[in-house]
Structure 1
């Protein structure tokens, strides 16, 4: 927060102006004006190091409209009453607090501090009466009694006002129930799960010490740690067990902090894990300028995501795949879960996402929606280890610069798959994941549209990810140059059994891809069936030769209950190599493509037809 604006209100003659003047001059004023001028206290002399404005409101000098304006500008309101005037005490609940509620900003209650002045002239405290008022108005953060004349509790009064803004209680605690709020419990539950590094349901001593250092940057000595655990155990015997601090104990610990007036401790933890004053999870600096299609996971976070999956439980480790219930548990504290699953990445025979598929899911999400990927990573605790969430994402340079330098740092490549209706685009995408026709027939494209698939391949010993994007036939001709240049190449599919399908991609290439210098390759689908001559002046082979798209179109088929995608090079008839060469050629094409160059060598090979080759990819 940039600064704190404190507004003082109350009945006449309760000492509002005296409080302000005594704070500034450090002596009680002999002559008190009707109203003190607004003052600003520099950050370097305030306990919380925040610039603070103090505004005195005078009923005799100002109008009600001005009061309403000041209420809406204030970050906190001090309602001052006189300890020697019972009427001013009564008006706190009968007039001032209802007035503040009436004119506060929508959905944003202004924290209130009740200030009892003139304690030097009173022999009787009003705290019992004021505490009843606090229970009826949750926006009241605290109350304090002071004396402007004796300078008693003067600086403490304004410090409490600062704390009410910087560390509001009403977001954390329900005084009527004496329990943490639902939002606070949810946030702390997420934090507990992040800090439970071994995922056993307990925070052991090592994890508690790490938590202390990460949140407060100071170590926790063994004696202090034991005192904390004993304090929790006295309040909640189930909060501390032999294995460590339980979730119940963690929540109890923070409830004790709030009840003892140390809510700044709980706020320090919440803010360390990315929460704002409304307990909303925020990702600072998450705008990635112009990089929607040029974002990829950093190498460090790739390993972290793999470890994240391995930490879910023994099932995920033992089977190299993750049950849906385990994924649900993993993302329980996230407002959303990664999209594009399960039909966009690799799963096992039971439909459980594999380790390879899990990482591919993150690669795909980061490439398409980097801001959303960052939000999820923050939810899962990435900033517990790294201060800056943007370190999880590497923003690559523009493709044209890669072409100029003939080198690239990119690890993710996008191919747009286009063709007429029913040429087999969906089969082409699912073939990347080793799916067969039987599986593809189960896809409900109306309810769960699948536009992308993503899988890893190895290129000269280095991992790369290939993303295939299906472009609907009705939208292909409307693609803008910007949309076209998002991809590294285009795969143009035609059905060799349909004489009308080739002219669609020929027209698409000549009118859209070639003018925009988009590298392309032609693929004849359903190659296990008899080929029919196409209704086009040039044959597919002649078209490829004329426009330098390779010797012949590549041939693709996906048939049989146990057959993975097969891609055969036209004219050679032999089985081609596994997909490792696909990404190698894709990367090479990305660097070699230039004016007049539309090489199709990157797609000289695609998916394997045997399960052993597929296993090498996982």
Structure 2
């Protein structure tokens, strides 16, 4: 990305008078200045001097003399790029025999821009134009730099030499361009992109360009049509591509893939369809071969690639200030993008993403998120009869991901082609508010959250796994499989008033004791679902012990659930029976549910969501008066919100009606 400061060290033979000091003076003063001092002091050139939008904030030009080798060596070791100047045959020979050998002996591995100065006669051959400006304004235009045959041996022998250029300080010929090339060697380095020894794009470049092709192929047909190329051009360079230039590119690719040509075995362009992936790679290879690699960098930068060909961490993981006890949810912008993504990759329009579609969707990413693999996706959410994730399950999975680890969401949004700032796909809820009554802390009602986290706790064989399966709409299985690793289930839930919420149910298997003891982890829980088997007399005592042993659990809203209610109810072998214990805690009696009674399960899920919205109703130790006060406040706030919405709607309709009457008159 853009560097704050670049140091350019200008070298050349003093005895032979190659004109390096004159080049610096001409660049700074925009005119030729004769009779200069031997060495100029360092000059700092601010960004607005250059027409390139990729230039650094400041570029420092350091003039040198080879009469003071100690100082010269010191400057070279702290340089970013070397501007090496020669002017005649003798100074040309010293490039290979003296200067390049010196750089290597110092262990300086920097890009070198070789400049043949005092080429005044070239102006009689051709008018000069500022190629840097032309290339930045029109990245697909032909390169207009004049080249010299004597550059070829230098370029072949020394890989450090980035490029060569002909200049004249006296005639102000290509001076700005030479300076731009020095900047470009740092801001758009060719080394990471292209291996000049074998004449091929480097593997990481190929991977990056393939990903960009995939993301730019909006209709996913394997070709970049005219509209898709235009969109890519706008994203990369801020302007549309000229139709004639596009046609010339397509013609050039078609000619290159003719049977007798270099790429005769490849299909680079198909008339009526567009440029292929191979064509896109060849096009960028040609740019590098011609020294036009800033065009490729313009494309790579638009997709947030750094000099190391990795995506910028600041884009993948933008800094987000999340207050303590607040949560992160998807915004409408985020949901819209994910819906469009699902529809685009559901090629057979069956409402589910099969394995092939899913693999293709994640082709531009490192693969399925680690969190998804850990939670056994797609079985952590809603799937169809063929075990393909549905749109409902897809959105639920991303909702869970954002809630539990929003950094994964921002990372993958970028990988998947979200063009805006990834933070726009998120929204931050307010911190949980706490209230205190009679020395008892409890959570205030919730108004701005749509996602709730429920921990399902209880003895083995208590029905926790069946509860998670039922929540995802799956039928009950008689086969018992103990839960070893944590399990998760996420789905949407509709409450009264057609309000949609998302519920995340988690059970922890063998990690349950450690989770319960971790008070910080338990604060992430919105509701505790304490489950026991009503047909097993030994089941409830586990919950009784947990509540008494861990005081921090009583700070959370909780719901007791008696599972397997279709079986014979057993007296629990415990100091106190479930109904009596919940009376002591001042919360509702256990809700009796069964996988054979779908309505009872639906009632439970609704109750969990309502407990998250109105924590006081289900927090142990609160008197009925406190609960009523909180419920009344919650209902009043909802009524006020509805009233505001009604007033807004009424105002909107009144304005529309007024405008209509005015237009009618």
Mapped to 2, the partners of 1:182 and 1:579 lie a distance apart of 54
Mapped to 1, the partners of 2:86 and 2:459 lie a distance apart of 79
Compared with structure 1, are the counterparts of its residues 425 and 205 closer, same or farther at alpha carbon in structure 2 (3 Å cutoff)? same
Mapped to 2, the partners of 1:509 and 1:151 lie a distance apart of 84
Counterpart of 1:261 in structure 2 is: 291
Alignment of 1:428-443 (within 5 A): 428-436=467-475, 438=477
Is the partner of 2:319 in helix, strand or coil? coil
Counterpart of 1:588 in structure 2 is: 613
Alignment of 1:406-417 (within 5 A): 406-417=445-456
Alignment of 1:497-512 (within 5 A): 497-512=535-550
Mapped to 1, the partners of 2:384 and 2:77 lie a distance apart of 57
Is the partner of 2:466 in helix, strand or coil? helix
Is the partner of 2:152 in helix, strand or coil? helix
User: How many residues are matched?
Assistant: 568
Picking from 59, 72, 83, the partner of 1:52 is 59
The 8 Å contact of residues 162 and 185 in structure 2, kept in 1 or not, is answered as yes
Counterpart of 2:165 in structure 1 is: 144
How far the C-alpha of 1:210 sits from its partner, in A, is: 2.9
1:231 and 2:252 correspond: yes
Map Cα deviations across residues 140-164 of structure 1 (whole Å, 9 max, x no partner): 3211233445544322211110111
Counterpart of 2:439 in structure 1 is: none
How far the C-alpha of 1:488 sits from its partner, in A, is: 1.3
RMSD across aligned C-alpha pairs, in angstroms? 3.6
Alignment of 1:343-382 (within 5 A): 343-382=379-418
Mapped to 2, the partners of 1:377 and 1:220 lie a distance apart of 27
The alignment's TM-score, normalised by the length of structure 2, stands at 0.76
Mapped to 2, the partners of 1:381 and 1:556 lie a distance apart of 44
1:280 and 2:310 correspond: yes
Counterpart of 1:43 in structure 2 is: 47
Compared with structure 1, are the counterparts of its residues 424 and 19 closer, same or farther at alpha carbon in structure 2 (3 Å cutoff)? same
Mapped to 1, the partners of 2:50 and 2:63 lie a distance apart of 19
The 8 Å contact of residues 557 and 612 in structure 2, kept in 1 or not, is answered as no
Counterpart of 1:107 in structure 2 is: none
How far the C-alpha of 1:79 sits from its partner, in A, is: 3.4
Is the partner of 1:314 in helix, strand or coil? coil
Counterpart of 1:310 in structure 2 is: 343
Counterpart of 1:611 in structure 2 is: none
Picking from 183, 190, 203, the partner of 2:211 is 190
Compared with structure 1, are the counterparts of its residues 287 and 597 closer, same or farther at alpha carbon in structure 2 (3 Å cutoff)? farther
Counterpart of 1:615 in structure 2 is: none
The 8 Å contact of residues 562 and 590 in structure 2, kept in 1 or not, is answered as yes
How far the C-alpha of 1:405 sits from its partner, in A, is: 8.1
Map Cα deviations across residues 453-512 of structure 1 (whole Å, 9 max, x no partner): 2111223323321111224332134212x3222221111123445544433322333454
Picking from 360, 363, 366, the partner of 1:335 is 366
Is the partner of 2:114 in helix, strand or coil? strand
Compared with structure 1, are the counterparts of its residues 334 and 136 closer, same or farther at alpha carbon in structure 2 (3 Å cutoff)? farther
Counterpart of 2:498 in structure 1 is: 461
The 8 Å contact of residues 407 and 591 in structure 1, kept in 2 or not, is answered as no
Of 372-381 and 79-88, deviating more is 79-88
1:30 and 2:35 correspond: yes
Picking from 80, 85, 88, the partner of 2:94 is 88
Compared with structure 1, are the counterparts of its residues 474 and 587 closer, same or farther at alpha carbon in structure 2 (3 Å cutoff)? closer
Counterpart of 1:3 in structure 2 is: 5
Counterpart of 1:571 in structure 2 is: none
Gap runs ≥5 in structure 1: 105-109, 568-573, 602-618
Picking from 327, 331, 339, the partner of 1:298 is 331
Is the partner of 2:163 in helix, strand or coil? strand
Map Cα deviations across residues 490-548 of structure 1 (whole Å, 9 max, x no partner): 11123445544433322333454656621011123344544444343211111111112
How far the C-alpha of 1:381 sits from its partner, in A, is: 0.6
Mapped to 2, the partners of 1:307 and 1:31 lie a distance apart of 64
Mapped to 1, the partners of 2:388 and 2:563 lie a distance apart of 29
How far the C-alpha of 1:74 sits from its partner, in A, is: 3.1
Counterpart of 1:74 in structure 2 is: 79
Is the partner of 1:289 in helix, strand or coil? coil
Compared with structure 1, are the counterparts of its residues 597 and 311 closer, same or farther at alpha carbon in structure 2 (3 Å cutoff)? farther
Counterpart of 1:484 in structure 2 is: 522
1:164 and 2:185 correspond: yes
Compared with structure 1, are the counterparts of its residues 501 and 99 closer, same or farther at alpha carbon in structure 2 (3 Å cutoff)? farther
How far the C-alpha of 1:419 sits from its partner, in A, is: 2.5
The alignment's TM-score, normalised by the length of structure 1, stands at 0.81
The 8 Å contact of residues 342 and 351 in structure 1, kept in 2 or not, is answered as yes
Compared with structure 1, are the counterparts of its residues 575 and 451 closer, same or farther at alpha carbon in structure 2 (3 Å cutoff)? closer
Mapped to 1, the partners of 2:229 and 2:396 lie a distance apart of 33
The 8 Å contact of residues 79 and 92 in structure 1, kept in 2 or not, is answered as no
The 8 Å contact of residues 503 and 609 in structure 2, kept in 1 or not, is answered as no
